């Protein structure tokens, strides 16, 4: 999964995103007067630009994360037939929207005489050149909209990571305790039961100080070696997961081909969350040595990603059926250390990736706080702001301690906006003077409508599931009653 220069992967991807945010506060006149305007930071000289292989590696890393591990449950929410088909459909549309964004950026660069544009600038300039006067007057809103959803997306990823870490480490810890002590009487059985029921939120709070210390590292290059180890550990974990799930596949005819539409929005949220890489598309394209090869790199990279998604999602559901959990790692055996090590390795990778995802919202939000503080307090205020931002992601995880719902909610709210709603609208605004065909207009409106419907239904169903988790509560109550009955029967038998 990691090619040449892999250890610099996340640093190269994230830095242009920050440069783009910083450029918003500088006027065009200031850009022209600067010796090295911010736009030039995107377009490196050939010696410094990233190669085709590096770009491909970045695309893979930008799309492969916790969303991949949640896709088998997404297939369960759609059905064994409609799920994979829908995943292909959403993947193709997402890749098409990435191409739209690149094409619009190129066109607007020529019109506005810019060397390169990021996502927020592309949306802003598209509104500026569009046909509607109301949008032209509020073109700057485009930047704020994209920045807002970028911050929500990145912080949402961080909250997902907190839940993922807590659930996997909890399972490893409790598996270790169960293997270490074999219950031989009622008291030890009761003690073991209490250990197994340790609240997930306790594990989240245990991770909090370590995550705060991690984000105090402000220079991403200091994490280069850890980032390389994280990428390798996640790659090894995926190989082990594949070799386990292919060994015992359930007959597909035993699984429902289509599930009710009530659960489908949860599938949509998780699926669109998985295709989380649109935010890095333009920065990568702007940093390539040979930008003419970027469409090829995008197609190859996303083709690999889609193959990985569909295969793991389908095989994972076929392997575990209705028992599939929010992350497929949670279905791996707890009594075999090879599979426990998978949870540890992937958790390490996600822990390091937390600081990478945190970098963008921190660099957007924290300067606004420190700018209002006296110089002697700036460093301390930055540390406090960083700690509070981490606490906010942990608070969301504590409030919604279900991995599948956090993933679906973030996907429905922010990923659908950035990946499906904005790109087709930007294409209409950018090319409306060039006699767009009715087919193109219809296609763009159709994609945007899919995004809006997914946004509304996915958000509604997820919020409803969070507030009224009827099925979960019922299942937990049934398990609790069953456990109580078993314990009572055991006591009576001993008497």
CA neighbours within 13 Å on the CB side: how many for 194?
Answer: 6
pLDDT at residue 36 in the model = 33
pLDDT in the model for residue 374: 84
Predicted pLDDT of residue 48: 65
SS3 185: coil
| Torsion, CA 120, CA 124, CA 125, CA 128, rounded to 10 | 180
How far apart CA 218 and CA 312 sit, in angstroms, is 35
Q: What torsion do the CA atoms of 411, 229, 165, 175 make, to the nearest 10 degrees?
A: 130
pLDDT at 126: 92
pLDDT at res. 481: 41
Q: How far apart are the first and last CA of the chain?
A: 59
Which of these, 15, 470, 29, 49, lies nearest to 286 by C-alpha position? 49
Q: What is the pLDDT of residue 422?
A: 94
**Cα–Cα distance between 418 and 94 in angstroms, integer?**
10
What tokens does 120 get? 């927020």
Which contacts qualify for 331-340: CB closer than 8 Å, 24 or more apart?
A: 332/241, 332/244, 334/171, 334/172, 334/174, 334/175, 334/178, 334/179, 335/175, 335/178, 335/179, 338/240, 339/240, 339/244, 340/172, 340/175, 340/176
Q: Residues 126-160, buried b or exposed e (16+ Cβ, 10 A)?
A: bbbbbeeeebeeebeebbebbbebbbbbbbbbbbb
CA distance 426 to 143: 13
Name residues of the chain where pLDDT drops below 70: 1-48, 181-197, 220, 470-495
pTM score, whole prediction: 0.80
Tokens of residue 441, six digits: 């207009």
Residue 494: what pLDDT? Answer: 42
d(Cα 49, Cα 47) in Å, to the nearest integer?
A: 6
Cα–Cα distance, 62 to 419 (Å, whole number): 13
Q: Are 149 and 414 contacting, i.e. CB atoms less than 8 angstroms apart? A: yes
The alpha-carbon radius of gyration of the chain (Å, integer) is: 24
φ/ψ (deg, to 5) at 288: -70, 145
pLDDT of residue 262: 85
CA pair distance 166, 148, nearest whole angstrom: 27
The tokens for 434 are: 């060039």
Q: How many CB atoms lie within 10 A of CB 5?
A: 16
């Amino acid at each position: 999964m990691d090619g040449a220069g892999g250890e610099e992967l996340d640093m190269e991807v994230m830095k242009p995103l920050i440069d783009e945010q910083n450029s918003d506060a500088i006027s065009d006149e200031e850009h022209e007067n600067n010796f090295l305007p911010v736009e030039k930071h995107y377009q490196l000289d050939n010696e410094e630009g990233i190669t085709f292989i590096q770009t491909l590696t970045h695309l893979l890393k930008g799309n492969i994360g916790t969303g991949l591990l949640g896709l088998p449950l997404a297939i369960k929410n759609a059905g064994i037939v409609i799920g994979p088909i829908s995943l292909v459909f959403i993947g193709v549309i997402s890749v098409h929207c990435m191409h739209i964004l690149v094409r619009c950026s190129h066109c607007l660069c020529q019109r506005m005489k810019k060397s390169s544009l990021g996502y927020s600038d592309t949306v802003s300039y598209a509104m500026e050149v569009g046909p509607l006067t109301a949008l032209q007057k509020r073109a700057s809103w485009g930047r704020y909209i994209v920045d807002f959803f970028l911050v929500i997306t990145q912080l949402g990823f961080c909250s997902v990571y907190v839940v993922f870490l807590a659930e996997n480490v909890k399972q490893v810890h409790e598996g270790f305790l169960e293997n270490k002590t074999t219950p031989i009487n009622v008291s030890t059985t009761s003690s073991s039961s209490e250990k197994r029921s340790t609240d997930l939120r306790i594990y989240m709070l245990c991770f909090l100080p370590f995550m705060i210390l991690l984000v105090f590292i402000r220079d991403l290059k200091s994490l280069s070696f850890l980032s390389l180890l994280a990428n390798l550990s996640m790659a090894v974990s995926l190989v082990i997961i594949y070799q386990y799930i292919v060994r015992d596949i359930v007959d597909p005819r035993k699984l429902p081909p289509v599930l009710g539409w009530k659960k489908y929005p949860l599938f949509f949220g998780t699926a669109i969350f998985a295709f989380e890489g649109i935010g890095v598309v333009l920065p990568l394209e702007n940093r390539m040595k040979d930008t003419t090869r970027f469409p090829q790199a995008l197609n190859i990279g996303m083709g690999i990603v889609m193959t990985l998604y569909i295969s793991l999602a389908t095989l994972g559901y076929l392997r575990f059926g209705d028992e599939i959990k929010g992350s497929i790692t949670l279905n791996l055996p707890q009594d075999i250390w090879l599979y426990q090590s998978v949870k540890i390795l992937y958790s390490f990778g996600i822990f390091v990736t937390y600081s990478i995802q945190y970098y963008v919202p921190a660099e957007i939000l924290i300067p606004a706080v420190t700018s209002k503080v006296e110089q002697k307090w700036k460093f301390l205020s930055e540390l406090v702001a960083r700690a509070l931002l981490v606490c906010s992601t942990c608070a969301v995880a504590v409030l919604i301690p279900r991995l599948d719902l956090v993933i679906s909610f973030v996907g429905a709210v922010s990923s659908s906006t950035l990946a499906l709603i904005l790109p087709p609208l930007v294409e209409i605004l950018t090319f409306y003077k060039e006699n767009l065909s009715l087919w193109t207009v219809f296609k763009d409106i159709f994609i945007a409508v899919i995004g809006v419907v997914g946004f509304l239904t996915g958000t509604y169903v997820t919020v409803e599931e969070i507030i009224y988790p009827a099925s979960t509560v019922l299942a937990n109550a049934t398990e609790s009653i069953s456990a109580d009955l078993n314990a009572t029967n055991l006591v009576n038998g001993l008497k």
